[in-house]
Amino acid sequence: MTMERLSAATRFANPVATPDYDRKALKPGILHFGLGAFHRAHQAVYNEAALSQNFGDWGIVGVSLRSLDIVRDLRAQDQLYSVITRSGAGDSAQVVGSIIRGISAVEDRDELLALLVDPAIKIVTITVTEKAYGLDPVTGGLDRNHPAVAADLANPTAPTGVIGYIVEGLARRQQAGMEPFTVLCCDNLPSNGRVVRRLVLEMAEARDPALAGWIAEHGAFPSSMVDRIVPAATDEGRARAAQMLGAEDALSLETEPFMQWVIEDHFLSDRPAWEAAGALFVDEVEPYEKMKLRLLNGAHSMIAYLGQLKGLEYVRDVMAVAEYRDLARRHMKSAVKTLDPVPGIDLNRYIDQLIERFENPTIAHRTKQIAMDGSQKLPQRIFAGTVEALKAGDEADTSALATALWIAYAKRTLDIDDPRREELRKAAAVPAGDDASAAFFAVPGLFPQALIDNRAWRDRVNGKLADIEAGRI
Ligand code: CS2
């Protein structure tokens, strides 16, 4: 028997939370780039909570830069989808209605360009993953060889990448005598607002210095720290959702109960009351970002490479090995020493909570998924903290191990999934002499100079590599 497709008319057999506000009253107020699982389980859920507590009419228009499927599926489901929250305590289902429309940058480009200049759109939010920004690892500015950046510099009025769209949208607003929109980055980059501001200004400068000046003066690029573990969706998860909903949902996804969003309170307009779901508005996001990147994401990457090298498919499988769980904890205990106090957070509790989150037996988070794009992730997750740890006289032993695990993984994985794949493949092919990691340290802009210059720490990385290769780790 085929099940009906999720829609506004679905009558649920089981308890399911559904939009309890007037969806028809929502207006497009937020334009979001990147309609993947993370956005749907994070910002859209915060927005849902704000709406359900009767705060405003902020609808999200979601832009998919590449995948047409998400947009088609949303359309086929009255722009509804489900979030299944899972833990040892049980599962719960929520149908989210705060995304009022999905559009494709490929098929609906004119509509997208029109929305960027629609005064109703006050906030542009972004989750496109680290590699989509076109960030040059050497300069920290715009990578002019990045395919989307190169295309958008050559043809700025017909953009293809997220920075190109933002610059074109702001240019049109300037020409129309309007205010800019606020740009809110929600990707795992340190000082993500500042990073995006710089990329936008550099691209605008290349096109028209007056535009760059206007953006610098009038624009707003708050930073934000986002957190929720949301594995890529699977058929198994979709089948589980269908059971709970009594309807097919091609867009359902599974996630953990925990979620966190810390946002720099710097908006050009009013904004949704995301605090309704616990979002924290602060003056300085950096302490929270550093905490999350170095503790959660740093340990996550370490666990991912361990898992990949040891044939353990999920994070929870790695955590089930006492030795590896202890290692993850040891790494966090060491990395935490590089952090300043984080307002309102007990860092020891935070670490305990992370261990529990990673252990969640109901969350099937593939180590392969996290292992992806290491060149884009390790600098902020592992290397930045290592520089500070070494400066403070620490040996940064677990960081050396995390680095060696990644190098060993790169050496063993021919089809490594990373935008710097070619360079990593070349480094991996260099025969390991006395300095087995040298070719990786020579990849431009990957390691900070302080680590490249630190012979003792590099020897430590080599020692760990030898241990891994000899099966001692
Ligand atoms: C993970 C993150 O895939 C990865 O690299 O470390 O996506 C992680 O699950 C999130 O940042 C959690 O908020």
- For the chain, domain boundaries: 23-282, 286-469
For the CA of 38, the closest atom of ligand 1 is: 7
- Residue 55 confidence (pLDDT): 82
Answer for the pair 186, 36: CB distance below 8 angstroms, yes or no.
no
What is the rounded average pLDDT of the residues 245-260?
98
Distance of alpha carbon 137 from alpha carbon 376, whole angstroms: 9
How many residues are there in the chain?
A: 473
Q: What is the mean pLDDT of residues 450-461?
A: 98
Q: 366: which DSSP letter?
A: B
The pLDDT of residue 336 is 98
Residue 142 has pLDDT above 80, yes or no: yes
What is the per-residue pLDDT for 234? 97
Whether the full predicted model's pTM is greater than 0.95, yes or no, is yes
Spacing of C-alpha 283 from chain mean position: 21
Kindly provide the b/e burial profile for residues 51-64, where b requires at least 16 CB atoms within 10 angstroms of the residue's own CB.
bbeebbbbbbbbbb
Each residue of 265-322: pLDDT tens digit?
999 999 999 999 999 999 999 999 999 999 999 999 999 999 999 999 999 999 999 9
Task: Look at residue 1 and tell me whether its pLDDT is greater than 80.
Answer: no
| 230 CA → ligand 1 middle, Å | 8
Lowest mean pLDDT among 51-60, 94-103, 112-121, 236-245: 51-60
pLDDT grade for 236, boundaries at 50, 70 and 90: very high
Burial (CB count <10 Å: 0-12, 13-18, 19+), residue 422: exposed
CA-nearest residue, atom 11 of ligand 1: 227
Return the best residue to mutate from 256, 316, 370 for the ligand 1 pocket (most ligand atoms within 8 A of CB).
370
Instruction: Calculate what percentage of the chain has a pLDDT beyond 70.
Output: 100
* CATH classification code of 286-469: 1.10.1040.10
Q: Kindly report, residue by residue over 57-106, the tens digit of the pLDDT.
A: 999 999 999 889 999 999 999 999 999 999 999 999 999 999 999 999 99
Residue nearest to atom 10 of ligand 1 (CA): 229
Atom of ligand 1 nearest to the CA of 230: 9
CA dist 158 and 278 (Å) reads 38
Best residue among 128, 188, 301 to mutate for probing ligand 1, ranked by most atoms within 8 Å of CB: 188
Given a cut of 90, is residue 117 above it in pLDDT?
A: yes
Name which residue sits closest to atom 6 of ligand 1, judged by CA. 297
Same fold flag, 23-282 and 286-469:
no
Q: Which CATH number fits domain 23-282: 2.40.40.20, 3.80.10.10, 3.20.20.70, 3.40.50.720?
A: 3.40.50.720
Tens of pLDDT, residue by residue over 174-223, are: 999 999 999 999 999 999 999 999 999 999 999 999 999 999 999 999 99
Measured from CB, residues less than 6 Å from any atom of ligand 1 are 188, 227-229, 296-297, 300, 369-370, 377
pLDDT band at 433 (very low <50, low <70, confident <90, very high): confident
| Cβ proximity of 281 and 275 under 8 Å | yes
Q: Residue range 370-381: average pLDDT?
A: 98
CA angle 68, 297, 39 (to 5 degrees): 30
**If you average pLDDT over residues 430-446, what whole number do you get?**
95
Locate the ligand 1 atom nearest the alpha carbon of residue 226 and give its number: 13
Cα 12 to middle of ligand 1, angstroms? 32
Q: Please report the DSSP string for 41-110 in residue order.
A: HTHHHHHHHHHHTT---EEEEEEESS-HHHHHHHHHTTT-EEEEEEETTEEEEEEE--EEEEEETTT-HH
Protein residue with least CA distance to atom 5, ligand 1: 370
Q: What is the pLDDT of residue 45?
A: 98
pLDDT at 2 over 80: no
**DSSP 8-state symbol, 158:** S
Which atom of ligand 1 is closest in space to residue 188's alpha carbon?
A: 11
